[in-house]
Amino acid sequence: MQANSSPDTAHIHIDLGERSYPIVIGSGLLGSSLTYQDIPKAAAALVVSNTTVAPLYAAQLTEALRHRYGKVLLVTLPDGEVHKDWPTLQLIFDALLENGCDRKTVLFALGGGVVGDMTGFAAASYMRGVPFVQVPTTLLAQVDSSVGGKTAINHPLGKNMIGAFYQPLQVVCDLDALATLPSRELSAGLAEIIKYGPIADMEFFDWIEANLEDLLAREPAAMAHAIRRSCEIKAWVVSQDERESGLRAILNFGHTFGHAIESGLGYGEWLHGEGVGCGMVMAAHLSERLGLVDKLFVERLTRLALRAGLPVRAPVLSASDNAGRYLELMRIDKKSEAGEIRFVVIDGPGKAVVRSAPDALVRGVIDLCCA
């Protein structure tokens, strides 16, 4: 269909009516001008990246865009979750306004989830909305933030508290970019891939178990399949429930505990995917205590998380009342309603449901996992 399709390039169509867009997965995409041929031309494009990724890939991307845009600008943000805040977001608005960028300007997010979330929110808000393209360079961003249109920045009192649902024009997942990814970040990305097994597809979970060594070795065919299947499942869920009024919440398996860990330790201490990895193990224990899965399933998930290089022991967040601190942090989660924490639990392997749980049961899980 598209001229840039090589036999090894996969296309996934995210079906959201007039906000539909394609995800392209393959090698050699990022620096090829053909990749962007369906993006509208404009007077200016702005590439947003960070101090780690820009030196590696910004030149390739800006070169590929140069013939479609009168000027191609670059903003390099400081790297890290700790900078996912308003002052850093303001750097994007400053660059847009200092360069007289109009509302046809296209933003390109080149980096991991933080760059994607911030660029997406900047695009949603600049002049009340300009188009943007995601070019995720981490595994986590390729499987997670590339589908769903969630954009946000953090508030000192909570993660992703200020943001918008805003869809990109296109997502470009270049497998070559994974070559430079630190192994800790590779593991963090695998956490979100593993997640799709328990919540939706245990055959995929079997496949991950069987192919984990290839994934850890960044073998392109295995990686392409894992990214593609993750995006497909996420796309299916999101197309049912774009604004998270119901089903979509299952994608947050592991995230309620995980966010508490990230927030309790201070953002940036653990990677998001590490929090999710450990959080999934905690949520599996909770599922077991609620009588929804058996002990074998919990052990199987824990073993895979360990093999993937993820932490499975939860950190102590308070010396005096550790479980109380976890509960306090989880009550300000966005899924909470009237102070009641909503947990994503596994209701038999391959199916997730959202429900509340007695504090005593949750405390037991926290005590067990922090021991």
Contact 286, 354 (CB under 8 A): no
User: Is residue 295 annotated as a catalytic residue, yes or no?
Assistant: no
Is 70 among the residues that bind its own copies (CB under 8 A)? yes
Tokens of 307: 């093999």
| Smallest gap from residue 155 Cβ to its own copies (A) | 6
- SS3 label, residue 101: coil
User: Is residue 84 annotated as a catalytic residue, yes or no?
Assistant: no
Tokens of 129: 């909305």
Is 266 among the residues that bind its own copies (CB under 8 A)? no
User: Is residue 184 annotated as a catalytic residue, yes or no?
Assistant: no
Is 267 among the residues that bind its own copies (CB under 8 A)? no
| Smallest gap from residue 156 Cβ to its own copies (A) | 8
Is 66 among the residues that bind its own copies (CB under 8 A)? no
- The stretch near its own copies (CB under 8 A) out of 7-15, 26-34, 101-109, 268-276 is 101-109
Is 125 among the residues that bind its own copies (CB under 8 A)? yes
In angstroms, the CA 313 to CA 281 distance is: 9
Binding residue for its own copies (CB under 8 A) from 24, 53, 118, 124? 124
Of 40 and 182, the one with the shorter C-beta distance to its own copies is 40
| Smallest gap from residue 248 Cβ to its own copies (A) | 12
Is 217 among the residues that bind its own copies (CB under 8 A)? no
Binding mask 293-332 for its own copies (x = CB under 8 A): --------------------------------------xx
Is 3 among the residues that bind its own copies (CB under 8 A)? no
User: Is residue 262 annotated as a catalytic residue, yes or no?
Assistant: no
Q: Is 91 exposed, middle or buried (0-12, 13-18, 19+ CB in 10 A)?
A: middle
- The stretch near its own copies (CB under 8 A) out of 90-98, 227-235, 272-280, 351-359 is 90-98
In angstroms, the CA 140 to CA 31 distance is: 21
* The one catalytic residue among 83, 255, 300, 342: 255
The per-residue DSSP string of 208-271 comes to HHHHHHHHHTT-HHHHHHHHHHHHHHHHHHHHH-TT-SSGGGGGGTTHHHHHHHHHHH-TTSS-
Is 147 among the residues that bind its own copies (CB under 8 A)? no
Is 207 among the residues that bind its own copies (CB under 8 A)? no
Binding to its own copies (CB under 8 A) within 18-47 occurs at: 43
Residue with tokens 């109009």: 102
| Smallest gap from residue 266 Cβ to its own copies (A) | 17
Is 155 among the residues that bind its own copies (CB under 8 A)? yes
In angstroms, the CA 111 to CA 116 distance is: 7
Residue with tokens 């700790």: 82
Nearest to 284 by CA among 184, 195, 204: 195
CA-to-CA dists, residue 216 to 8, 59, 191, 277, angstroms? 20, 28, 12, 16
Of 234 and 300, the one with the shorter C-beta distance to its own copies is 234
- The kind and range of the H/E element at 48 are strand 42-50
Is 86 among the residues that bind its own copies (CB under 8 A)? yes
In angstroms, the CA 253 to CA 187 distance is: 17
Of 43 and 216, the one with the shorter C-beta distance to its own copies is 43
Is 126 among the residues that bind its own copies (CB under 8 A)? yes
User: Is residue 351 annotated as a catalytic residue, yes or no?
Assistant: no
Q: Is 223 exposed, middle or buried (0-12, 13-18, 19+ CB in 10 A)?
A: buried
| Smallest gap from residue 163 Cβ to its own copies (A) | 5
User: Is residue 252 annotated as a catalytic residue, yes or no?
Assistant: yes
Question: Among positive and negative, which fits the CA dihedral 185, 187, 191, 194?
Answer: positive
Q: Which residues are annotated as catalytic?
A: 128, 150, 192, 234, 244, 248, 252, 255, 259, 272
